[in-house]
A and B are shown apart, each in its own frame.
Chain A
C-alpha cells in the first residue's frame, strides 16, 4: 500500500492539469467531478496508507519513495523524493480529508461563479503543492511545495480579479510571505554550505553531530528558517497579510488560510526540531513570538465587524498557540492543536460561508443577527466549532489540545509562568471574541433575510467537521483525566516527548483556572453583547476606548508602519527614477556633443568677411604667441 504514496500528491496535480487545459470545455458537473474527485481519491488513498503505516510500521517508522533525481550538481543531488513518518502522515491525513470536505462544499458554494473550473484548478494545484510540502524528503522539494502553496494562495485570494482590492490583497499576501521565504532561502544556503546536503533527516543528524548547542551556525540557520515560518504562518512581524487575505472566496479561507497552508510554518519548525533544539535562543523566540501574536491578534479579533476578519485574527492567534507549544518543546502538542484547529476553524469558515452565501455576500456581522432560526444546522455546527475554539471543557476537541499547550507552557523545562499567563489571557480573549461573534450573528434581532439555503453538499461537510471538532480530542487526554496518549504515542516515533516538571497537583490547579477562564470569556461575551449591548458601545465611546478600538481594529497599526517605512519609499524611488538617472550621463554626453556641434557650426556661416576676419585673428594670435614666448 505504501508504494502508492506518490499518487496522493499526483492525483490533485492531474486534476489541475485536466482543469487547466480542458476546463473551459467541460460542463460544470464534469468540473466538479474532476476537482472534487481527485482530492477524494487522494483522501481515500491517504487513509489506506495511514492504516497500513500504523498497522505494520515500516522499519524505523518512516518510508521513503524516490520518483526521480531532480538535480546533480557538484554533490548537490536532491531527488523528487517523498518521506512519510508520523508527522507527515498526520498532516497529510488532515490536509486530504479536510481538503476533500472543503472541495465538496465548494462544488455547491461556487456553482454559479463563472470561474468554476478555474477555481477547482487552483484548489487542486493547492492540495497537490501542500502535499509535496509535507511529504518532501529534502528542503529543495519542500521549498517547491512551500512556494507552490504561496502561489495558490495568491491566485485564490485574487480569484475575483475584477476588483482591484482583491488583487492588492493577493499581491500583499504573496510579497509579504516572500520576504520570509527569502530569509528561508538564505537558511537553505547556510545549511547546504556547512553540512553539504539538503536532505532533512541527514541534515538533522549532521547538525546534531557537528554543531554544539547555542553556537552561531545553528542559531543563524534556525532564525532564518523561522523567518520563513513567520511569513507563511502569519506570525509577528509578518502577520499583516492574513486579514486581507479574506478577500478570497470563503472555502479558500477555510482550506488555505485556516486549516492547512498557514500551519506550514508550524510544520517546518516541528520537522527541523533538532536544529531548533540546537538553537535555544531561537526556540525561546518562537515561544515569545507565539505568545505575543496570540495576544495581539486576540485583541484585534474583539474589535472586528467583518465575520471573516474575526476568524482571520483568530487563526493568527491560534497559530500563535502552536508556536508557543513549539517554543517550549511541546512538538506533539503543537501538531495536536494543528489538527483540532483544522477541524473547528475550517468548520467556522464554512459556516460563515453559508451565511455569506445566503445574505448576498454580506460580511458585516452587525447586519446579520438572529440567524439561528433561519439556518439551524449551520447554527448548531457553528456553535460546536465555537465551543471547540473557546476550549469549552470536556466536550470539545479544542479543550484538550489547547489545555495541553497551556499545561506544557507552564511545566516544560523551557516553559515559564509568563508564557502560561499569555496563553491564559489569550484563552479569555478567545472565548470572548468567539462568543461575541456567535451572539451577534445568530442571536438578537434579525437584520436581513436569508435568500439561499445551503444544500446537502454544503451541509455534509459541516456535520462531519462538527463531529470531528468534538471527538477529535479524545485520542489524547491529559494525565489527570484518563491519560489517553494515542496521538502523542504515535507522534513520538517522529518527535521527542516533553517531560512536565510540575506534578499532578499543579496540573489540577491550572486545569481549573483554564476552565474558569474560558467559561468566563463566554460569560463576558454574553454580558456585553447579548444582555447589555449598550455597555460595550458605551465603553468604546470613551476616548481611551475609541483610541484602543481603532488601534486594535487596524491590527496594531502594523500596516501603517510598513506602508510608511517600506512601501511608500519603494514606490517613491521607482517613480522618481522612472527614467533612470544613469541614462542622464549618456544623454549628457550626447547633449554636450550636440551643443559643441551647434556652437562650432555657427562659425560656418558662408560670409567671406567673417572668414577673412577669422584668418586674420588667427594669424595675429599665432604670431603673438610666437613672438612673445
Chain B
C-alpha cells in the first residue's frame, strides 16, 4: 500500500478505479447486446413458427372438413339420382352447378399454355427488369381471353379459376385464390381447342405482346385435360337469393 502512495505511483489508484468502471460498462454493454440479439431473433422466429404451425393445423382441419362435406354431398346426390322425375332433373342441375362452382375435378379436351419470365434481361434494353417478368395483369388478360373463347373450366398452376377467383399481385408475388404462384405459369383450359388457341393467338393479343419481348410461350392442344377442383369453396355471407313470389 505504501508503494502505491509513493509520489511517482500516484496514478495507479485512480487509474485502477477508471479501469474498473470501464470494464463494468463494457461488461454490461456486451451482456445487453448479447441478450438483445438473442431475444430479438428468438422472439421473432418463435412467433413465426407458432403462427405457421397454427395455420397448418387450421388448414389441415379445414381440408378434413371439406372432405367430409363433399362425401356427404355425393351421398345426397346418389340418393337424389336414384329417385325419379323432378329430383333427377334437380340432380342434373346440381351437376352443372358443381362444375360451375368448381368443386369437382373435370376432364375434357382443351389446351395447356405455359409461359415463363422473359429470357431477356434489363441490361439488354432500356427499362427495368419489370418489363420482362410476368405480371398479374398478363395472367388476368389470358384468363379473360380463355373465358371469352368459351372455356368451361380453367386452372392456373393447379388453382381452379371460378367465379370470385382473384389473380392479384402482392409484394412482387402473384396470388391466385390467395395461393402464391410463380413463373413458369401453366394455364389449363377445357373447351373448343381451335377457338381457345385462335383466341389466345389473336393479332396484337396478349401472347403476341409477350412473344415480342421473348417470353417463352408454349401453347399445346390436348385431347384430355384434367382440371382440379377448387381447394376452398367460397362462402356466401352477404348475397342471398331473391325469392320471387309466384303470381297466379
Whether chain B is bound by chain A comes out as no
Seen from chain A, the residues whose Cβ lies within 8 Å of a Cβ on chain B are none
Seen from chain B, the residues whose Cβ lies within 8 Å of a Cβ on chain A are none
